[in-house]
């Protein structure tokens, strides 16, 4: 599955979804994790809030899960409608530690929401 992390430094989940200038995209399975690329979402000339959110979602459209420090209710609904599961991280959580936790969940007894994402992943290798 593909996970997008809202990050200003490539190491921490420290950006609000709507304000993030980039997202780090990772491919994660129970056995391995691989950095794929940085997704640029820095266009800041979009005044309309709905259009800006649509642009951000289009930037991460290949992701199955989005991790960010904050996300508003409208953005959360729009992300979910795009078949991306939004997740709020703790304050300045590290991407590598979050990846490890996801892998541990996948190896153990994954919660139903994660199993559903695994089975419907957009990342069909």
pLDDT tens by residue, 22-65: 999 999 999 999 999 999 999 877 888 899 999 999 999 999 99
Cα-to-chain-centroid distance, residue 36: 13
SS3 14: coil
> What pTM, to 2 d.p., does this model score?
0.94
φ, ψ (nearest 5 deg) of residue 23? -130, 140
Quote the pLDDT of residue 96: 97
The domain limits of the chain are 2-119
The predicted pLDDT at position 49 comes to 87
2-119: CATH number: 3.30.420.130
Q: Which two tokens stand for residue 99?
A: 């990846």
Q: How far apart are CA 124 and CA 59, in angstroms?
A: 19
Q: Which helix (H) or strand (E) holds 37?
A: strand 33-40
Evaluated on CA atoms 70, 9, 122, 28, the torsion sign reads negative
Write out pLDDT tens, residues 70-124: 999 999 999 999 999 999 998 889 999 999 999 999 999 899 999 999 999 877 5
From the list 7, 64, 3, the residue with the least C-alpha distance to 28 is 3
pLDDT given for residue 37 in this prediction: 97
């Amino acid at each position: 599955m593909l996970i997008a992390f809202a990050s200003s430094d490539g190491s921490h989940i420290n950006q609000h979804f709507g304000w993030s200038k980039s997202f780090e995209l990772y491919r994660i399975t129970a056995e391995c994790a691989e950095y794929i690329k940085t997704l640029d979402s820095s266009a800041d000339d979009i005044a309309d809030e709905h259009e800006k959110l649509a642009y951000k979602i289009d930037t991460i459209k290949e992701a199955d899960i989005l991790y960010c420090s904050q996300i508003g209710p409208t953005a959360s609904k729009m992300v979910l409608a795009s078949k991306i599961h939004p997740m709020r991280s703790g304050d300045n959580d590290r991407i590598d530690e979050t990846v490890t936790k996801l892998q541990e969940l996948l190896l153990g007894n994954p919660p139903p929401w994660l199993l559903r994402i695994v089975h419907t992943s957009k990342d069909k290798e």
